[in-house]
Amino acid sequence: MDYDTLRCEIDQRILTITLNRPDKLNALTDTMLRELDDAFSQAEADDAIHVIILTGAERGFCPGQDLVVALAQAASGALRYGEHLRALYNPLILRMRRLPKIIIGAINGVAAGAGMSLALACDLRIAAESASFMQAFVKVGLAPDSGSSWLLPRLVGPARALELMLSGRRVSAQEALTLGIVNEVTPDSDLMRRTMELASELANGPTITIGYIKSAVEFALDHALAEALDKEAELQDLAGQTADHIEGVSAFLEKRPPQFRGK
């Protein structure tokens, strides 16, 4: 995986994708959006990758769409935001949510606008103490996009989501933890160690079933109970046929730790 705007490293079945335009706090360009989509697509196809970490280079996570590029394109009539979102952002967010592997956001700095959407599209978020979150769209006269309107209310409830979207204010990592936007907060210096620790636990788990767990929660969020029950039955049927299920039960009966193989 060789990209202009991303760094990608694979270590012990964990792919770390680093947004890499640090001079602009890793603002999103068309190239970066295409490269991200490609990296997630390759991660999905590669059985050797069990877990993905998404982070940012240096002091920012991602401040959203590169406004210099967007403004220039919009002013020249070359960019209609709706087309741009449908072509590049929406497929990427859907790919992340549908990918049957866990994506952990290691939020190292500010996540604003579509950069916050990108963080919200991860399955789990660990934030450095100095990280922050901004629904910055309103500050530039735009409405939330790239999934924020769907993802944020589901994490914090509609009233809090609206307050953040209407104010565009900066939320600290600690407040994000209280609101339920992030799973945990670490000292800045411990962010990647702790993220790798969690990723490693997941990478050594029953990864096919972990994909089903993600899929079941995603499905349940916009379906009725009867449909969710049916989905659970469908997925449990598949999980029950994995070698890891046999291994998990055998390990329990033999009173030893399971050795899952992701099969």
Q: Binding residues for ligand T3D, per CB under 6 A? A: 24-25, 27, 63-68, 70, 81, 84-85, 110, 112-114, 136-137, 139-140, 142, 145
Residues sharing a CB contact under 8 Å with residue 89, sequence separation 6 or more, in sequence order: 33, 114, 117, 145, 146, 147
Residue 26 vs 195, nearer CB to ligand T3D: 26
Residue 100, helix vs strand vs coil? coil
As measured in angstroms, the least distance from the Cβ of 139 to ligand T3D is 5
191 touches 128 (CB < 8 A)? yes
**Nearest to ligand T3D of 66, 123 (CB atom):** 66
* 26 within 8 A of 33, measured Cβ to Cβ: no
User: Which C-beta is closer to ligand T3D: that of 114 or that of 203?
Assistant: 114
Minimum separation from the CB atom of position 169 to ligand T3D (A): 11
Least Å distance, CB 79 to ligand T3D, is 7
Nearer Cβ to ligand T3D (137/260): 137
Distance in angstroms (rounded) separating the CA atoms of residues 67 and 55: 20
**CA separation for the pair 228, 222 (Å, rounded):** 9
